[in-house]
């Protein structure tokens, strides 16, 4: 991806659905980070200090360009503001730092990561003492302090200590939640072949650490440019994984095969089944729901976002699970996890978490549960999905388009159209309902749906569609793209 060498405008520091992200050396700089981090620590202290009695902030990072240096700067300025700091000695998944915040009884965690964004970006995620993303009112307090020109607290500097985010209890906790010996036996005996595409990100080495046996890990090296793409679990970035699974299937027709895909900071997951079919979380969440209920004996509320597949509530209904729907953004799911007993909460972009873990999406734990679902059922993930379609009597196709916007003026025009000129017909189908919990979700007469939503972290318009056939999905998305381009 090319970026202009001149004329770059610096965007304000603003926290989206999960963190502040910006172009390195333009928006995201050491100077700006040094301003934000102490204020974030102060707000974490004001919010969680009384309940924890703590003065400690966890600082972690991913494998992006300058991540270690950004983390070191964060630790130093937070320490200078009077806080004790636990600074990670290695890259690790974001959920490992969320886990550490809770189990180290810290005020929270500051994590240097831009998640699934392209390599030119870095970012800062703020995690609360409870082990998940802080609610919007917390990040708004940080933004307000920045706008007021506030500086960080002036105090006696705190201590900086290093810690191992992998083996400080995080991996042990994940292992305790699945039957590791059974999974290891399936892999070592050749009953299950596991490919793991870590997309040059923070999940590198993770599955092998957890299982204790080798897996076929791909894109394990550190590449801050992500091969010119982005560490996002989408089919367009997975050609090597598709080729590897196809070649394996041709030479090893016996046994089960799965490909697991992790985003840049390992809080999102996707998969590829043994036939080489891409499986987004729209497919994986129903499979996980059934596995946790039937094989693990767990129960609780199922929390989905408005962009989730219609299959999800149908599977939840099969097992009498209550359902709660939120706006897009895992922080809203995390909020619900803090209010009631949640079995699973998931979003279509790959974030899946569990109420019996931490209120945070965790791709490595989801990977372990998917492996366990395969081994316990002795079936391919694709077969498990088709079984659920048969059980519910519901089948569909789904896709999403991320449409880059030329500027904020285009965004404003589109928003004005949606607000003041409501769509009554889409792709020759009457609109029968419009849900505005997050963006605009239009239900059409033939029960397909189209969702139009602006990204919370990027200058992008997201278009989502689910319909009964792939052709209907593409027809609807093409219509939506053409509509957006004409405004």
DSSP assignment of 234-303 equals: -GGG-HHHHHHHHHHHHH--SSEEEEEEE-TTSS-EEEE-TTS-EE-HHHHHHHHHHHHHHTT----EEE
Of 303, 279, 310, nearest to 289 by C-alpha is 303
475 Cβ contact list (under 8 Å, min separation 6): 427
Mean pLDDT of 208-232: 96
Average pLDDT, the chain: 94
What value, to the nearest 5°, has the Cα angle with vertex 328 and ends 465 and 364? 100
- Tell me if 20-167 shares its fold with 397-486: no
* Token duo for residue 313: 């509530």
CB neighbours of residue 470 within 10 Å: 12
How deeply is 27 buried, as exposed, middle or buried, from its count of CB atoms within 10 A (0-12, 13-18, 19+)?
buried
Of 396, 305, 441, 368, nearest to 174 by C-alpha is 368
In a 3-state reduction of DSSP, which class is residue 110? strand
Q: Can you tell me the distance from the alpha carbon of 340 to that of 244, in angstroms, rounded to the nearest whole number?
A: 42
Cα–Cα distances in angstroms (integers) from residue 341 to residues 179, 239, 315, 324, 379, in the given order = 23, 39, 18, 12, 30
Per DSSP, what are the bridge partners of residue 161? 86
The pLDDT score that the predictor gives to residue 121 is 96
pLDDT band at 454 (very low <50, low <70, confident <90, very high): confident
* Token duo for residue 302: 């199922």
| pLDDT (tens digit per residue) in 335-379 | 899 999 999 999 998 999 999 999 999 999 999 999 999 999 999
CATH 3.50.50.60 at 397-486, yes or no:
no
pLDDT band at 9 (very low <50, low <70, confident <90, very high): low
* Token duo for residue 119: 């390599």
pLDDT at 306 over 90: yes
| pLDDT (tens digit per residue) in 463-478 | 999 999 999 999 999 9
Backbone φ and ψ for 228, nearest 5 degrees, come out as: 85, 0
Q: How is domain 171-392 classified at the CATH fold level?
A: Alpha-D-Glucose-1,6-Bisphosphate; Chain A, domain 3 (3.40.120)
The pLDDT score that the predictor gives to residue 458 is 66
> What does pTM read for this prediction?
0.93
pLDDT band at 457 (very low <50, low <70, confident <90, very high): low
Q: Can you tell me the distance from the alpha carbon of 203 to that of 412, in angstroms, rounded to the nearest whole number?
A: 38
Q: Can you tell me the distance from the alpha carbon of 383 to that of 401, in angstroms, rounded to the nearest whole number?
A: 27
pLDDT-above-70 percentage for the chain: 98
Per DSSP, what are the bridge partners of residue 123? 21
* Token duo for residue 79: 């320490």
Segments making up each domain of the chain, as ranges: 20-167, 171-392, 397-486
In a 3-state reduction of DSSP, which class is residue 411? helix
* Token duo for residue 1: 């991806």
In a 3-state reduction of DSSP, which class is residue 81? coil
Cα–Cα distances in angstroms (integers) from residue 34 to residues 37, 70, 292, in the given order = 6, 9, 43
Cβ atoms of 431 and 425 closer than 8 Å: yes
279 Cβ contact list (under 8 Å, min separation 6): 270, 271, 272, 273, 381, 382, 385
How deeply is 214 buried, as exposed, middle or buried, from its count of CB atoms within 10 A (0-12, 13-18, 19+)?
exposed
Superfamily name with CATH number, domain 20-167:
Alpha-D-Glucose-1,6-Bisphosphate, subunit A, domain 3 (3.40.120.10)
Residue that the structure tokens 């080798």 belong to = 214
CB neighbours of residue 162 within 10 Å: 11
The pLDDT score that the predictor gives to residue 44 is 98
Q: Can you tell me the distance from the alpha carbon of 426 to that of 442, in angstroms, rounded to the nearest whole number?
A: 9
Mean pLDDT of 320-339: 92
The single-letter DSSP state of residue 227 is G
Q: CA-based Rg of the chain, rounded to a whole angstrom?
A: 22
Q: Where are the beta strands (DSSP E) in 294-411?
A: 301-305, 323-326, 342-346, 352-354, 397-404
* Token duo for residue 269: 């997951």
Backbone φ and ψ for 30, nearest 5 degrees, come out as: -60, -40
């Amino acid at each position: 991806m090319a970026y202009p060498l001149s004329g770059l405008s610096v965007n304000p520091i603003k926290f989206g659905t999960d963190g502040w992200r910006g172009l390195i050396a333009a928006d995201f700089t050491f100077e700006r980070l040094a301003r934000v981090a102490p204020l974030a620590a102060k707000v974490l202290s004001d919010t969680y200090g009384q309940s924890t009695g703590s003065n400690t902030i966890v600082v972690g990072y991913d494998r992006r360009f300058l991540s270690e240096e950004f983390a070191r700067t964060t630790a130093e300025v937070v320490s200078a503001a009077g806080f004790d700091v636990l600074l990670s000695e290695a890259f690790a998944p974001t959920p490992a730092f969320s886990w550490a915040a809770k189990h180290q009884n810290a005020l929270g965690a500051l994590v240097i990561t831009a998640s699934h964004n392209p390599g030119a970006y870095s970012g800062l995620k703020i995690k609360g003492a409870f082990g998940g993303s802080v609610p919007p009112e917390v990040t708004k307090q940080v933004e307000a302090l920045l706008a007021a020109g506030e500086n960080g607290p002036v105090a006696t500097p705190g201590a900086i200590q290093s810690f191992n985010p992998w083996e400080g209890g995080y991996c042990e906790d994940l292992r305790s939640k699945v039957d590791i010996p059974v999974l290891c036996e399936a892999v070592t005996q050749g009953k299950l072949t596991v490919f793991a595409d870590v997309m040059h990100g923070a999940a590198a080495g993770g599955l092998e650490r957890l299982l204790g046996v080798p897996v076929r890990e791909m894109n394990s090296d550190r590449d801050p440019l992500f091969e010119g793409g982005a560490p996002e679990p989408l089919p367009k970035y997975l050609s090597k994984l598709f080729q590897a699974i196809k070649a394996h299937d041709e030479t090893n027709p016996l046994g089960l095969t799965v490909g697991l895909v992790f985003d840049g900071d390992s809080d999102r997951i996707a998969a590829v089944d043994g036939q080489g079919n891409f499986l987004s979380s729209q497919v994986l969440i129903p499979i996980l729901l059934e596995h946790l209920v039937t094989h693990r004996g767990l129960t609780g509320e199922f929390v989905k976002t408005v962009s989730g597949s219609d299959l999800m509530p149908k599977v939840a209904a099969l097992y009498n699970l209550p359902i709660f729907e939120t706006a897009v953004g895992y922080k809203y799911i995390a909020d619900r996890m803090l209010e009631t007993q949640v079995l699973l909460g998931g979003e279509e972009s790959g974030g899946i978490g569990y109420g019996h873990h931490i209120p945070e999406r965790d791709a490595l734990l989801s990977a372990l549960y998917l492996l366990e679902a395969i081994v316990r059922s002795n079936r391919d993930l694709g077969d498990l999905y088709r079984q659920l379609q048969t059980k519910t009597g519901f089948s569909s196709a789904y896709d999403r388009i991320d449409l880059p916007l030329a500027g904020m003026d285009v965004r404003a025009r589109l928003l004005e159209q949606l607000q003041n000129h409501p769509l009554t017909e889409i792709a020759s189908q009457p609109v029968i309902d419009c849900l505005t919990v997050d963006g605009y979700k239009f239900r059409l007469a033939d029960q397909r749906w189209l969702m139009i939503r602006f990204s919370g972290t990027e200058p992008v318009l997201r278009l989502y569609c689910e319909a009964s056939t792939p052709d209907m999905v593409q027809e609807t998305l093409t219509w939506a793209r053409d509509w957006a381009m004409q405004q």
